[in-house]
């Protein structure tokens, strides 16, 4: 019995030492997008989903965003915010107010849901119509993964790991 307990403790220590159980090693994160509390107009039914997947073989992230309830024909920027704004790309909402962004190649430095500081989140905000590049308008978030006013929870949930170790 002592040998079994000792072996179990050793395996648990190895898993923890290698980071398998540490939150920073989760590479699959999901979150629901909901209306930013400051918006109360055409975005009443805005919602969506965010999936963040880390690809260890390429050492980068793939970000998939699906949004509904936005204004058709309007361009939106998707950002990851962790104290700094990291632009993930833009999309134009199509008929029915839906938008989709599938972006890849973002480094670990760009997306770290475990970084201490402000609650990490994904926001969908207005793209600046006066520029030709993807350049969002500050403080114009229409959707956010932050949950429950006064927005005190990230809303991004670790759902697993696909790392080989």
Residue 78: name the closest of 35, 129, 142 by CA.
142
Please report the domains of the chain, with CATH numbers, ordered by start residue.
26-160 (2.60.40.200)
Q: Are 125 and 77 in contact (CB under 8 A)?
A: yes
How far CA 96 is from CA of 40, 71, 125, in Å, comes to 18, 8, 18
Q: Are 65 and 100 in contact (CB under 8 A)?
A: yes
Of 18-32, 53-67, 97-111, minimum mean pLDDT range: 18-32
Q: Average of pLDDT values for 128-156?
A: 82
Its pTM stands at 0.73
Could you tell me the two tokens for 118? 């402000």
pLDDT of the residue at 165: 53
List, for residues 37-74, the tens digit of each pLDDT value.
555 555 556 788 998 888 877 778 888 899 888 899 99
| Highest mean pLDDT pick, 26-40, 88-102, 142-156 | 88-102
List, for residues 84-96, the tens digit of each pLDDT value.
899 999 999 998 8
Cα separation, 62 vs 102, in Å, equals 7
User: How long, in residues, is the chain?
Assistant: 165
Tell me the pLDDT of the chain averaged across its residues: 76
């Amino acid at each position: 019995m002592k040998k079994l307990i000792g072996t179990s403790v050793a395996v648990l220590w190895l898993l923890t030492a290698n980071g398998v159980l540490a939150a920073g090693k989760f590479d699959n994160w999901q979150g629901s997008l909901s209306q930013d509390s400051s918006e109360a107009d055409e975005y009443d039914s805005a919602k969506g989903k965010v999936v963040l997947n880390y690809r260890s073989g390429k050492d980068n992230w793939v970000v998939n965003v699906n949004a509904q309830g936005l204004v058709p024909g309007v361009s939106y920027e998707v950002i990851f915010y962790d104290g700094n704004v990291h632009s993930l790309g833009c999309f134009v909402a199509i008929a029915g107010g839906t938008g989709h962004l599938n972006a890849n190649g973002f480094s670990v430095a760009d997306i770290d849901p475990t970084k201490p500081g402000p609650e990490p989140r994904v926001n969908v905000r207005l793209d600046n119509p006066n520029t030709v590049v993807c350049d969002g308008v500050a403080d114009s978030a229409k959707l956010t993964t932050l949950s429950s006013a006064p927005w005190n929870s990230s809303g991004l949930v670790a759902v697993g790991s696909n790392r080989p170790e």
